[in-house]
Amino acid sequence: MALDLSGLNPDQRAAVLTTEGPLLVLAGAGSGKTRVITHRIVYLLERGVPPGNIVALSFTNKAADEMRERLQKMTDKALASSLVLGTFHSVGAAMMREQPDHFGVPKKFGILDQGDVYGIVRAVLRELGIHGQGADRRFDLGAIVQRISLWKNDFVSPTDAQGLYFETEYDEAAAAVYGPYEERLRALGAVDFDDLIVRIATTLEENTEARAYWQDKFRYLMVDEYQDTNRAQLEVVRRLAGERENVCVVGDDDQAIYGWRGAKVANILGFDMYFKRARTIKLEQNYRSYAPICTCANAVIARNTSRHEKQLVPQRRGGDKVTVVVAPDGDQEARWIGRTIFREIRESGTKPEDIAVLYRSAKQCDAIEALLQEHGLAYRILGGQAFYDKKQVKDALAYLKVMIAPKDDLATRRALDVPSRGVGLKTIEHLSEFARHRNLSLAEAIHRSDEIADIPSRAAAGLRSFSAAIKRGQAHFYASGSAVAPLQGLLEGVGLREYVLKEAGSEAAGTARWDGVVWLLEALGRFEQRGRAKGQVRYNDFFQVMNANKDKDKNEGDDEDGARGQITLSTLHSAKGLEWPLVLLIGCEEGVMPHKRVSAPRISDAIAGDIEEERRLFYVGITRARDRLFITRAATRLERGAEVPRKPSRFLDDLPETEIRVHDIARDERLGHDNIASMAEAFLANLAKGL
């Protein structure tokens, strides 16, 4: 199959054919940057470059999967599947797996997810006796985790961090936690997401053997969404590129939306500073969206001052105006969305996978989820948290593992921490030591903790009751042959339910959280039933399904089923790079988009919100739409039981009047379907009376 270059414009073609030396493709949304990467890969393969020498890095697993799918259609399937294609995180993990010694990790290292990281930080804080100020004297863990992550990605070591000037008590706490946190990771033989990148960068710098090996292996490097790389990722790219510098990066500074996580736009705008021989190609045409959508996007992003001036030139003429929908309140906004999607699918024949609902914050999707369920419509959620990714569900899952797969030390650690039972860092170290010497699992060491000296009495009591509860659960499990009731008993017995309810802060929130655990128990029950029908219940399969996301990066939470037949609900961050014929961009109000972090930053925000970044996020949202775009907002929203007025997002003011039409639900739908039906009824009734 020869590569067809006719589907590319001259600039795109030049980018595809420039295979040697550093190349930057800087261009607006929908201009075919990702398409350049896929064509470039095919071109390299056809020139005989072995697939193992080609690395393509994309921002999310979803984007990588999509790229692979496209490649499989364009070239030999086997070739396409043996490419190195993934995220920085997944490729980093693969490199570590191949050379654990070089990267300083055990052969079977664990990768901690966000929940694990929070658990460790919480435990270290407790251990160090650090409390926040204010009424509940508790820290926002997220702020500390974020700060440590930013340091790691900037190559600031725990010792360096100690010497920094602290602006907030969060920084101070983070600096104190950082060192013990890293020690715990080492003790667990685990790495966090940041290590998957930072370790690669430092090892390639320090270890000449590893550097030579990987530079020789990864001869052609491509990076999509380059505007959102951080310092550590830049170093990975530079150190892999070596002197050969066969590196092609594509991106758009107007879509830089991860500054809050340490991404540096300077990486892309200063590309030729890092790669002196760099050639830059700009793409001008937009192939994705109809003209009104492009015009709106141009008008919005033009308001940003710090940017590289460029315009989307629409190649698709015609198309509907952008619709701005105004709902009287949040509830009616959600209902309008549910109704509109339902009609699109059931009456207009739009395919569910062609529709996306996009929002600024993950929690906005709850209301939409509920309505789609009501209408019986299938959907998938990107970004935010899938059910089984929530903390309380993972905590419960950890107990299940300790009960039936007690060799899983990470699970044991997790269970030991919630609820807190006075077991500190030192005790864990004693236990790990004891286990290591005798080749035991951590759980076994806990069962034998009486044999260990030096454990403070409070911790010893905690360990004893933990051990007894687990043993009771196990006995119950072996006797009954099902894990559901024993797990439920175990969770109640150790006080997890009370803990979840208390942590939630309110009764409603607590019940909602505990629902996640109930969901897990039900899923487990169904799983056992299916297994029994087949003659065997393999719990490992259950863990695998539940962990499906664990090895993936933290940018998404998609399931394995793919998109077919499902509407997409996504945060704007996770929607980057993707496109849909019909897009609904919801909740466009001040305080939502732009986020309230911008208007009223909290002290715990490691990086204060940035209005230009919010605007770029809005721009990303608009430019996801191919054919039709609806932007919705509510005039009031329910907050703590009262309807509070909401100001329209300032970004709406920038949409050119000629390109939009406004649909005011309260005004325009008074004569909607239902009303017409009841008016007709009344009319007929009157008619009948008159006769």
Binding site, annotated residues for ATP: 27-34
Catalytic annotation, residues: 33-34, 224-225, 255, 624
Q: With beta carbons less than 8 A apart as the criterion, state whether 314 and 640 touch.
A: no
Binding site, annotated residues: 27-34
Binding at 510: pick from ligand ATP, Mg ion, none (beta carbon under 5-8 Å per type): none
If contact means CB under 5 to 8 A according to the sort of partner, which of ligand ATP, Mg ion, none does residue 12 touch?
ligand ATP
Which residues 632-661 are close enough to bind Mg ion by CB under 5 A? none
Other CB atoms within 10 Å distance of the CB of residue 683: 10
- Which residue number places its CB atom closest to Mg ion? 34
Q: How is 8-64 classified by DSSP, letter by letter?
A: S-HHHHHHHH--SS-EEEEE-TTSSHHHHHHHHHHHHHHTT--GGGEEEE-SSHHHH
Shortest separation between residue 28's beta carbon and ligand ATP, angstroms:
7
Q: Which CB sits closer to ligand ATP, 31 or 632?
A: 31
Q: Look up residue 462 and give its two tokens.
A: 């905690």
- Nearer to ligand ATP by C-beta: 64 or 327? 64
**C-beta closer to ligand ATP: residue 37 or 91:** 37
- List the interface residues with ligand ATP, window 570-589 (CB under 6 A): 577, 579
Q: Edge-to-edge, what's the strand order for the sheet holding 279-283?
A: 84-86, 54-57, 220-223, 247-251, 23-27, 279-283
Omega before residue 419 within 30° of 0, cis: yes
CB atoms near residue 650 (< 10 Å): 18
Among 3, 22, 26, 35, binds ligand ATP (CB under 6 A): 35
Going by their DSSP bridges, the two strands 247-251 and 84-86 should be labelled as unpaired
Q: How far is the CB of 291 from ligand ATP (least distance, A)?
A: 14
Nearest to 407 by CA among 439, 448, 455, 450: 439
Task: Return the residues of window 282-301 that contact ligand ATP according to CB under 6 A.
Answer: 287-288
Residue 259 interacting partner from Mg ion, ligand ATP, none (CB closer than 5 to 8 Å by kind): none
- Residues near 215 by beta carbon (within 8 Å), at least 6 away in sequence: 239, 240, 241, 242, 244
Among 29, 44, 125, 297, binds ligand ATP (CB under 6 A): 29
How many amino acids of this chain bind ligand ATP (CB under 6 A)?
19
246 binds, among Mg ion, ligand ATP, none (CB under 5 to 8 A by kind): none
Q: Which is nearer to Mg ion, 14 or 452 (CB)?
A: 14
User: At its nearest, how many Å lie between ligand ATP and the CB of residue 61?
Assistant: 16
CB of 607 to ligand ATP, least distance (A): 24
Q: Of Mg ion, ligand ATP, none, which one does residue 301 interact with (CB within 5 to 8 Å by kind)?
A: none
Region near ligand ATP per CB under 6 A, out of 22-30, 387-395, 428-436, 467-475 = 22-30
Nearest to 270 by CA among 262, 260, 280, 255: 280
User: Taking a C-beta distance cutoff of 8 angstroms, is the pair 66, 35 a contact?
Assistant: no
Q: Determine the Cα–Cα distance for residues 408 and 652; give it in Å rounded to an integer.
A: 51
Choosing among Mg ion, ligand ATP, none, which partner's interface includes residue 32 (Cβ < 5 to 8 Å by kind)?
ligand ATP
Name which of 35 and 321 has its Cβ closer to Mg ion: 35
Residue 388 is which amino acid? Y
- The count of chain residues that interact with Mg ion, using the rule CB under 5 A, is 3
Q: Would you state the structure tokens that stand for residue 548, as one six-digit string?
A: 């499906």
424 neighbors 459 (Cβ within 8 angstroms): yes
Count of other CB atoms within 10 angstroms of residue 155:
14
> x/- binding map, residues 241-270, to ligand ATP, per CB under 6 A?
-----------x--x---------------
HSE, CB side, 13 Å, CA atoms: give it for residue 461.
Answer: 5
Taking CB under 6 A as the rule, does residue 332 contact ligand ATP? no
Query: C-beta of 626: minimal distance to ligand ATP in Å?
Result: 7
Beta-carbon contacts of residue 498 (< 8 Å; ≥ 6 apart): 419
Q: How far is CA 99 from CA 108, 270, 648, 668, in A?
A: 11, 32, 53, 64
Minimum CB distance to ligand ATP smaller for 35 or for 646: 35
| Residue 227 in contact with Mg ion, rule: CB under 5 A | no
Q: Is 577 in the site for Mg ion (CB under 5 A)?
A: yes
Is the distance from CB of 24 to CB of 540 less than 8 angstroms?
Answer: no
- Residue 31 binds: one of Mg ion, ligand ATP, none (C-beta under 5 to 8 A by kind): ligand ATP
CA 434 to chain centre: 37
Q: Are 619 and 254 in contact (CB under 8 A)?
A: yes
**Phi, psi (deg, nearest 5) at residue 143:** -65, -35
Closest CB to ligand ATP among 372 and 622? 622
- Residue whose tokens read 């930072």: 198
Closer residue to ligand ATP (CB): 27 or 372: 27
Q: What DSSP designation does 313 have? A: E
Among positions 4, 5, 7, 366, the unique one binding ligand ATP when judged by CB under 6 A: 7
Give the span between the Cα atoms of 415 and 399, in whole angstroms: 6
Task: Please give the span between the terminal C-alpha atoms of the chain, in angstroms, as a whole number.
Answer: 77
Which member of 33, 40, 62, 637 binds ligand ATP (CB under 6 A)?
Answer: 33
**Of 287 and 539, which CB lies nearer to ligand ATP in the complex structure?**
287
8 binds, among ligand ATP, Mg ion, none (CB under 5 to 8 A by kind): ligand ATP
Stretch that binds Mg ion, among 86-94, 129-137, 352-360, 570-578 (CB under 5 A): 570-578
Q: How far is the CB of 36 from ligand ATP (least distance, A)?
A: 7
Per CB under 6 A, 32 contacts ligand ATP: yes
- Whose Cβ is closer to ligand ATP: residue 34's or residue 549's? 34
Residue 7: which of ligand ATP, Mg ion, none does it interact with, CB under 5 to 8 A by kind? Answer: ligand ATP
What are 635's two structure tokens? 């005039």
Using CB under 6 A as the binding rule, the residues of this chain from 591 to 630 that contact ligand ATP are 623
Q: Is 146 exposed, middle or buried (0-12, 13-18, 19+ CB in 10 A)?
A: buried
227 and 26 in contact (C-beta within 8 Å)? Answer: no
Token couple for 547: 């962990």
The C-alpha atoms of residue 581 and residue 603 are separated, in whole angstroms, by: 40
35 binds, among Mg ion, ligand ATP, none (CB under 5 to 8 A by kind): ligand ATP
Pattern 338-357, Mg ion, x by CB under 5 A? --------------------
The vertex-645 CA angle with 374 and 136, nearest 5°, equals 85
* Chain residues 8-37 in contact with Mg ion, contact rule CB under 5 A: 33-34
Q: Which of Mg ion, ligand ATP, none does 288 bind, CB closer than 5 to 8 A by kind?
A: ligand ATP
Sign of the dihedral defined by the CA atoms of residues 512, 515, 519, 520, in that order: positive
Q: Which tokens belong to 231?
A: 């310092």
Query: Per this entry, what is the length of the chain?
Result: 691
d(C-alpha 64, C-alpha 371), whole Å: 31
Q: Show the binding pattern over residues 482-521: x = contacts Mg ion (CB under 5 A), - = does not.
A: ----------------------------------------
Backbone angles phi, psi at 57, to 5 degrees: -110, 130
Considering the complex, state which of residue 70 and residue 447 has its C-beta at the smaller distance from ligand ATP.
70
Binding residue for ligand ATP, selected from 11, 12, 84, 427, defined by CB under 6 A: 12
* Site map 538..577 versus ligand ATP, x via CB under 6 A: ---------------------------------------x
Residue ranges that bind Mg ion, judged by CB under 5 A: 33-34, 577
Residue ranges that bind ligand ATP, judged by CB under 6 A: 7-9, 12, 27, 29-35, 252, 255, 287-288, 577, 579, 623
